[in-house]
Amino acid sequence: MAEGIIEIKAEPFAFPAKPDALALIVIDMQRDFAEPGGFGASLGNDVGRITRIVPDVKRLIQGFRDAGLPVIHTMECHKPDLSDLPPAKRDRGNPTLRIGDVGPMGRVLISGEPGTAIISELAPIDGEVVIEKPGKGAFYATELGDVLKAKGISQLVFAGVTTEVCVQTTMREANDRGYECLLAEEATESYFPEFKVAAIAMIRAQGAIVGWTAHVDDILERIAPKGGTDA
């Protein structure tokens, strides 16, 4: 193994993590996707599937914080004047609430509104970067690329929702930009269980064509600070 590399058990083969260049990116763990009355629910989805992964996302975030590794959060949202919301996005689907409409948690997926916030258990702490993104991919029309460059990050561990939409899109964007990507399986979810299974299979097919996938426990075990009490 090359010096400075820690191998994380993963599929389709071990992920060669470089702790100096590794960050966690938590995609869109927002109230609007996870709580009744939000955008996800307005599309007819079972949001309970999203809340069930919160404990695993939380311990992954804590593991990165304990290891002193960067945690980056994203939020899918738009400007209050909707100037960054193309009709092709607003008019899609048949939700009872469209993006920008006023719902029980404020205006749906609008920056600064209560429903747009990251769910409280996973809230960013001081110093963590939060990227507001108008698209599915977190690199599109955001400062994410510059942030990662400034921090010297070349490898990303992914968590968040939904697996086959914003998570997979961002992984593909990252892969095209030269980042090595690892998806934490228990820390991501879809409203459609079969889509999560398919997305995981697609990501790691053909020798990790988009990236690797691993269990949260295996990631945490390898990034844990090796506190020693050697005399």
Contacts with ligand C5J, residue ranges (CB under 6 A): 28, 33, 76, 161-162, 165-166
Query: Is the distance from CB of 122 to CB of 51 less than 8 angstroms?
Result: no
Helices (H), 91-191: 144-151, 168-176
Beta carbons within 8 Å of 17's beta carbon, 6+ residues apart:
5, 6, 7, 8, 155, 182, 222, 223
Question: Does the active-site annotation cover 133?
Answer: yes
User: What is the rounded CA–CA span in Å between residue 21 and residue 148?
Assistant: 9
- Token duo for residue 228: 């020693």
Of the pair 76, 186, the CB lying nearest ligand C5J is at 76
Question: Does the active-site annotation cover 28?
Answer: yes
Q: Give me the least distance between CB of 43 and ligand C5J, in Å please.
A: 8
Q: Which of 133, 136, 181, 196 is catalytic?
A: 133
Q: Give me the least distance between CB of 146 and ligand C5J, in Å please.
A: 22
Strand partners, 75: 132
Of the pair 79, 89, the CB lying nearest ligand C5J is at 89
Q: Are strands 6-8 and 15-17 parallel, antiparallel or unpaired?
A: antiparallel
What is the amino acid identity at position 168?
Q
Query: Is the distance from CB of 172 to CB of 143 less than 8 angstroms?
Result: no
Q: Give me the least distance between CB of 147 and ligand C5J, in Å please.
A: 19
Of the pair 42, 155, the CB lying nearest ligand C5J is at 42
Q: Which of 32, 56, 136, 166 is catalytic?
A: 166
Of the pair 28, 186, the CB lying nearest ligand C5J is at 28
Q: Are strands 102-103 and 71-76 parallel, antiparallel or unpaired?
A: unpaired
Q: Give me the least distance between CB of 181 and ligand C5J, in Å please.
A: 16
User: Which are the catalytic amino acids?
Assistant: 28, 133, 166
